[in-house]
Amino acid sequence: MKKILFCWALLFTLGASAQNAAPKSKVTIVTVTSPLRKMFLDLSRPNANQFFGQSIEFLQPNIRLLDNYAFAYSQVQQKGGKALDPKKFKEADLPVDNNYQAIYFKKNGKWTILKEMIGCTDVCWLEWAEDKTIPTAILPMEKK
């Protein structure tokens, strides 16, 4: 009887270890030609336009995708390549930079903005690394 229980315990442990050791999904960099890139930027643009008080365009956005999560970081400028006009910023009295950072989440086939930081003057997404619900693999953190 002890041998049978030991065998069951061993099989259960090996099975659990095998599941934990299964390869995880890989982070995908969303390319310029990907329709996802346009979709994420179109999703972000209204909030960024409102915050900066002018029509913006994203400069070489970095978008990283993993399963149902995505992360975007970009600097912005006015449409047509002009620098942003700080007098039009929603938070004109606060220090603001031309940065946009967001976490997106897909639920029931629809992407939404889960978290975003607009005009941040620092690496604001670092606090998102503490959120256990967000896969840190999508964040551009240096792996040691």
For residue range 75-88, list pLDDT tens digits in order: 999 999 999 998 89
Query: How sure is the predictor about 141, in pLDDT bands with cuts at 50, 70 and 90?
Result: confident
Q: Is residue 18 part of a domain?
A: no
User: Which own/partner pairs from 75-80 qualify as long-range (CB within 8 Å, at least 24 positions apart)?
Assistant: 75/99, 75/100, 76/48, 76/52, 76/100, 78/54, 79/55
Q: Is residue 130 part of a domain?
A: yes
Give me the amino acid identity at 55: S
What CATH number corresponds to the domain at position 45? 3.10.450
Q: Is residue 6 part of a domain?
A: no
DSSP string, 21-65: HSPPPPPEEPPTT-HHHHHHHHHHHHHHHHHHTS-EEEEEEEEEE
Q: Is residue 133 part of a domain?
A: yes
Number of domains in the chain: 1
User: What average pLDDT does the segment 52-71 reach?
Assistant: 96
Q: Is residue 129 part of a domain?
A: yes
Q: Is residue 143 part of a domain?
A: no
Q: Is residue 15 part of a domain?
A: no
- Domain with 81, as residue range(s), is 25-138
